Structure 1
């Protein structure tokens, strides 16, 4: 179950921030709330023990940004560049990412809960100890990414790309549905249940060049 803002160990130290986010700055114990940012340039900044709530970011760049011990709720990212960003010990709740580029990023000990991902590019990123809980992932690209100790309880995966991805200890058994658009061979290193195996059987057959016909 997701935490509330008041449950955070650093909640009492949070200070409201309503200025403009800038590049190469450190935001420590900042609470950024109820803002719509259009094309912000926040490259190379650091958010430490901070909270972002009811925030919309349209396009802009957060490349090389670091998020450590950060809590986000109701954060909407549209066309935002998060390339080579670094995430550690963060929790994102009821948030939505659309057309986001998060290429060559690092994510460790991250929990996404009730989030929606539409056309998000995780290509060549490194994800470790990441939970996608009750999330929807549609047209998400994990090509050439490294996924280790990843779970998807209650999540729906639609048209996922896994081309040349490297999976280790990835548990898909809790997912509501799994639809792999490409890179089926990358599923070695993943665990699925028998029902999911049956659902994926047509895609496995097609990838293996097997023609299945009724008598």
Structure 2
């Protein structure tokens, strides 16, 4: 008699809160293209008009906090963030392709669209963030948590995602076409629509989610359900 193999346990994301040293308060003008910032706090809520644009392309921001970032557009192509916290951002467009986020967190706030395609996120958490569109196409994710977030559209086309969880979050449209998933835990996440359900391999869902996904999964494999 062959004993059925138990499914391997899901490896949870290894994400810890960002612990910052005593920070030096610096002028918002310090945030500019190719800036090198370490151990600083920049309070932007009183410094910027909501219609302003911020250019932090290729900036390096280490062990720092950006508080109250309000802008119509933030350009951050190729930026590197290490042990850095964003608190209550209010950004219409975040244009940050090929950016590199490690040991970083975003607490609260909202983004109209956040373009992080072809980027890298390791040990990153978003807590209570509202996003209309999160573009992670061809991005590489490892140990990432979206907790209590609302994402109208989450684009993971051709992304590589390992140890990712979305507890308490709500996703309107999840596009997984050609994604590679390993230990992606979708339990506790309310997902309205999945595009590319055949690429769910490597994800974990609960029984209720499986029932809601059944029609899309059946269509993906050409299964006809009669009666």
| TM-score, structure 2 normalization | 0.84
Residue 101 of structure 1 contacts residue 121 of structure 1 at CA under 8 Å; is this kept in 2?
yes
Mean Cα deviation higher: 29-38 or 128-137: 29-38
What secondary structure is seen at the aligned counterpart in 2 of 1:123? coil
C-alpha distance after superposition, 1:83-118 (max 9, x if no partner): 000000011111212222111000000111101121
Q: Give the ranges of 4+ consecutive aligned residues of structure 1 lying more than 6 Å apart after TM superposition.
A: none
How do 1:191-210 and structure 2 match up within 5 A?
A: 191-210=204-223
Matched residues in 2 for 1:211 and 1:189: separation?
Answer: 24
Residue 17 of structure 1 contacts residue 30 of structure 1 at CA under 8 Å; is this kept in 2?
no
Change (3 A) 1:36 1:205: farther
How do 1:1-215 and structure 2 match up within 5 A?
A: 8-10=19-21, 12-19=22-29, 21-33=31-43, 34=45, 35-36=47-48, 38-175=52-189, 177-212=190-225
Residue 104 of structure 1 contacts residue 123 of structure 1 at CA under 8 Å; is this kept in 2?
yes
Matched residues in 2 for 1:179 and 1:210: separation?
Answer: 21
Structure 2: runs of 5 or more not aligned: 1-15
Matched residues in 1 for 2:224 and 2:70: separation?
Answer: 47
Structure 1: runs of 5 or more not aligned: none
Aligned residue pair count: 208
Change (3 A) 1:41 1:139: same
Which structure: larger Rg?
A: 2
Change (3 A) 1:161 1:36: farther
Quote the offset at 1:179 in angstroms.
Answer: 2.9
Mean Cα deviation higher: 104-113 or 55-64: 55-64
What secondary structure is seen at the aligned counterpart in 2 of 1:80? strand
What secondary structure is seen at the aligned counterpart in 2 of 1:43? coil
Q: RMSD between aligned alpha carbons?
A: 2.0
C-alpha distance after superposition, 1:42-94 (max 9, x if no partner): 21111111111111132242100011000111012222210000000011111
Quote the offset at 1:212 in angstroms.
Answer: 4.8
